[in-house]
Amino acid sequence: MTDPLRVGFGERLAESMRARGALCVGIDPHPSLLHAWDLDETARSVERFAMTVVEALAGEVAILKPQSAFFEVYGSAGIAVLEKVIAEARQAGALMLLDIKRGDIGSTMAAYAMAYLDEHAPLAADAVTVSPYLGYGSLAPAIGIAEQTGRGVFVLARTSNPEGAGLQQSIHGSGDSVAQYIVDSAAESNAGAEPMGHVGVVAGATIRSDELDFSRLNGPILAPGLGAQGATVQSLRAVFGAALPNVLPATARDVLRHGPTVNGLRAAARKVREEVQDLLRG
């Protein structure tokens, strides 16, 4: 096991949010966006797309979030691009959240954790998304390695897709919803951390304001759904209430559609970031 980083993920993320504002921008080379940028569906075009986003935003936003699936579809060439994106964005000062949504048990989960959270892994990111639907306890290898290496995990709790509601809003054995159980389990993992722990949750910016209680979480909340999925910056306060200072709103298409120019991407991200900052000051 590698030596721990001197500063844990929660502290590093909090500092990045203070310095750069609370915004996460996805790097999603979806075919429709590639075509909008006059690019074809090849690994070379994905590299051009992704590295343009890195050039534009690695010095601008708190965290960048590559969607691994859009790189994996190109096989080893796509994975090589993803390695380059992670390395160069981190070198430019951005925190990198790799959206992989992995979830498994035992040695398989441990292998996923080593692949994405170990210091010397080619795909090592600052944090990853993970799925708890084989049981929150199955995530122990990822949560443990992340803590030891100064990295983080974001656990899917109440996602923004409509298909998730039936499972996530169902009642857990604890008496709370499954989503609330996941939030509370993450809170236990973060107990005593300052300013916030290394285990975050994913809760869509489109959910109802009365669905979840984040008061014990003491960790970051990744809130996808801005823009294309219908959520607005103004709706964040109603959804997250007192937890708003720990919320990291996430957007992708609403910024990426302003490419392929660096200036266009940068201006779009700054506009959203400033709207979020105005909300936090209000």
Give the model's confidence band at 239: pLDDT under 50 very low, under 70 low, under 90 confident, else very high: very high
Mean pLDDT, rounded, for 225-232: 77
- pLDDT bucket at 162, cuts 50 / 70 / 90: confident
Sign for the CA dihedral angle at 40, 252, 221, 157 comes to negative
Structure tokens at 149: 């290496």
Phi and psi angles of residue 73, each rounded to the nearest 5 degrees, phi first = -60, -20
To the query of whether residue 65 is one of the catalytic residues in this protein, the response is no
Residue 146 in domain: yes
Whether residue 142 lies inside any domain: the answer is yes
Q: How far is CA 207 from the centre of its chain?
A: 17
Tell me, yes or no, whether 209 lies in a domain: yes
Please indicate, yes or no, if residue 104 is contained in any of the structural domains. Answer: yes
Beta carbons within 8 Å of 28's beta carbon, 6+ residues apart: 66, 67, 70, 252, 253, 256
Closest CA to 222 of 17, 15, 6: 17
Mean pLDDT of 266-275: 96
Q: How many domains does the structure of the chain reveal?
A: 1
Stretch among 118-127, 159-168, 227-236 having the lowest mean pLDDT: 227-236
Residue 127 exposure: Cα atoms within 13 Å on the Cβ side: 29
Strands 247-251 and 221-224: parallel
CATH number at residue 191: 3.20.20.70
Structure confidence by residue, pLDDT tens digits, 100-123: 999 999 999 999 999 999 999 999
| Res 131 pLDDT > 60 | yes
| Predicted pLDDT of residue 196 | 95
3-state secondary structure of 66: strand
Q: How confident is the model at residue 208 (pLDDT cuts 50, 70, 90)?
A: confident
Confidence of residue 128 (pLDDT cuts 50, 70, 90): very high
Q: Does residue 2 form part of some domain?
A: no
Residue 13 has pLDDT above 70, yes or no: yes
Of 65, 84, 101, 271, which is the active-site residue? 101
Expressed as residue numbers, the domain containing 118 is 9-281
Assigned domain for 201 exists: yes
Q: What pTM value is reported for the model?
A: 0.96
pLDDT for 51-100, tens place per residue?
Answer: 999 999 999 999 999 999 999 999 999 999 999 999 999 999 999 999 99
Give the contacts of 81 (CB within 8 A, at least 6 positions apart): 43, 46, 47, 50, 71, 74
Please check whether residue 130 lies inside any domain of the structure. yes
The percent of residues in the chain predicted with pLDDT above 90, rounded, is 89
